[in-house]
Amino acid sequence: MNSKFLGTGVALVTPFKMDLSVDHEALANIVNFNIENGTDYLVISGTTGESVTITKQEKKDIVATISEANNGRVPMVLGIGGNNTAAIIEEITTTNLSHMDAILSVAPYYSKPTQEGLYQHFKAISEASPIDVILYNVPGRTSKNMEPSTTIRLANDFKNIVAVKEAGNNVAQYLRLIKDKPDDFLVISGDDDLALGVVLAGGAGVISVIGQAFPKTFSAMIRLGLEGKAQEAYDLHFKLMDVIGYIFEENNPAGIKAVFEALNLCKDTVRLPLVPASSQLKAKVARFVSDFR
């Protein structure tokens, strides 16, 4: 089993200044804050990083900032995905992946391919990638569910497809994946609210949004779950349960950026078509952060 991706990974935000340029100082601070407080690995340029509104040059600069701040301390995963298979392969083959431990590739959105189309898409990505591949199934954003049979087929057929980030908020689908997966394949939760239950059922951990704001508590919860210490782990889950709900009330990453603003780690700025969290949501988040112990 690939132990690099056991435990808590975080889907890093991309902090912006008020002029909407990337705030590299805040980004480096967030990376250090996470590593120093127990985060096991970093995921760069995913949905939470607002990847669809980041330019190619900005992505390179973001990777450089995170790599420098990390300085080899924890594994790194780079988001490279979309609904144009040829363009994804071109990005994989033209990107310096020497500092990366895997790519995270989202199922094609908007196009709504068949299960065979999903299989062929990820087959092409696997064959093009010089490093490990983590599949990312998030039907709420892609409008197409990658069924467990397709995920398991890919896991069995391609050695470098090592994990799936499953984010369908579907407990039955998680359990099917855990039951049927190859022994060395990782099922990683992409749902913060379900992550502990997934781990206790045999999942490998989480790629979390809220974890990057409360890394000490969240990573301790997942670690306890991996050790089978359910009651102790749930005690920590209940401490975070309200804020996990808050950050997804309006949109991601506006919610998590509201938390970071309350923590004085970055501004709550997002790029259109997203807008910052409402004043009502910010007030709830600020109260939670102020009261959290």
Active-site residue set: 136, 165
In whole angstroms, give the CA distance from residue 43 to residue 259. Answer: 19
Distance CA 253, CA 276 (A): 9
CA distances from residue 156 to 97, 183, 199, 225 in whole angstroms, order as listed? 24, 10, 22, 27
Q: Among all chains, which residue has been given the structure tokens 């033209």?
A: 94
Do the Cβ atoms of 281 and 246 come closer than 8 Å?
yes
- Output the CA torsion sign for 162, 45, 24, 289: negative
Rounded distance, CA 214 to CA 212, Å?
A: 6
Give the CA distances from residue 198 to residues 94, 114, 232, in Å, rounded to whole numbers and listed in that order. Answer: 35, 27, 16
State how beta strands 161-166 and 132-137 pair.
Answer: parallel
Ramachandran class of 20: left when φ > 0, alpha when ψ lies in -120 to 50, beta otherwise: left
In this structure, the dihedral spanned by the alpha carbons of residues 234, 200, 7 and 42, taken in order and rounded to 10 degrees, is -80
The CB density around residue 214, as the number of other CB atoms within 10 Å, is 22
